[in-house]
Amino acid sequence: MPTLVGALARSTHPGPTVAVTTIAVLLGVGVGVEPPRLLLLGLAVLANQVSVGLSNDWIDADRDRAVGRADKPIARGWVSVRTVRTAAWVSAATSLVLTVPLGVGAWCAQFVFIASAWAYNAGLKATAFSVVPYIVSFGLLPVLVTQSLTEPAGAAWWAVAVGALLGIAAHFANVLPDLDDDKRTGIRGLPHRLGRVAAGITTYVVLAAASVVVVSSSGIPVLAGGIGLALNLAIAAVGITLVITRPPSRLLFQLIMAAALLNVALLVLAGDHVAV
């Protein structure tokens, strides 16, 4: 049995938490956020994502127990719902406090980001609109970064569009492994309504579309953009073929992650053009 700190750490959904924080920091480097402000931005986004993960496990505690989720500390009895709930609220407040020095625009973007993600956890995940919080929160990530500059700036439309598309892919990729468990507990978000095959195809199509948007609109170097686009289109072709012809496997998720990382790399390479 892990310690209390260990159980809380597992409840934060560490993989997505680290991934989103890393994307924010890399994008901040790309657009030229100064080191002290970049540190604040990274810590604020980290606290943001910690709060999102904790609130998910607190709100889903009964469902996780019902399906015997062995990967969930609350379901295993390692930590109480009350402790996770308190930590979630503290983390959300910490994120907003850390964002204050970055300016009003950054704070507003952070607030909406967190509110949107919590709205998903609180109930939107079970509706046909389950993808909306992901579109909103990920679409705001470039805005949060550019607003964190010493001289705050807006984010280019294509950067917001790519963020939103990555959000759609993140939602579908996150839900695909849990479709059966979710069905047993009454969760019917958009991916559930589409079904495994359609949801899997949609994920790859969206990731390919994100690459097209970056390469065609960002001013990224032609060679880098061409390689990135070609790789993502190849991954999409292989992934869609596997979704249609084979049962779910770990390889499908790994291909989705590879395509997402390629898109993040393209976005970071276009950093000079993100702020407008």
User: What are the domain boundaries of the chain?
Assistant: 1-136, 156-275
Positions in the chain short of pLDDT 70: none
DSSP category for residue 78: S
> What pLDDT score does 118 carry?
97
DSSP category for residue 153: -
User: What is the number of alpha carbons within 13 Å of residue 2 lying toward its C-beta?
Assistant: 16
**How is domain 156-275 classified at the architecture level of CATH?**
Up-down Bundle (1.20)
Contact 171, 128 (CB under 8 A): no
- Using only C-alpha atoms, the chain has a radius of gyration, in whole angstroms, of 19
> What pLDDT score does 168 carry?
94
Residue 113, CA distances (Å) to 120, 144, 220 in order: 11, 9, 27
Same topology, domains 1-136 and 156-275? Answer is no
Report which of 171, 180, 172, 176 is spatially closest to residue 69, judged by C-alpha positions: 180
Q: Specify the fold of 1-136.
A: Tetracycline Repressor; domain 2 (1.10.357)
> What pLDDT score does 212 carry?
95
> What pLDDT score does 59 carry?
93
- Please list the residues that pair with 275 across neighbouring strands: 155
Q: How far apart are CA 232 and CA 216, in angstroms?
A: 14
> What pLDDT score does 220 carry?
87
Q: Would you state the structure tokens that stand for residue 200, as one six-digit string?
A: 């899997």
Q: How far apart are CA 172 and CA 178, in angstroms?
A: 10
Q: pTM for this one? A: 0.92
Report which of 240, 26, 276 is spatially closest to residue 151, judged by C-alpha positions: 276
Q: How far apart are CA 139 and CA 158, in angstroms?
A: 10
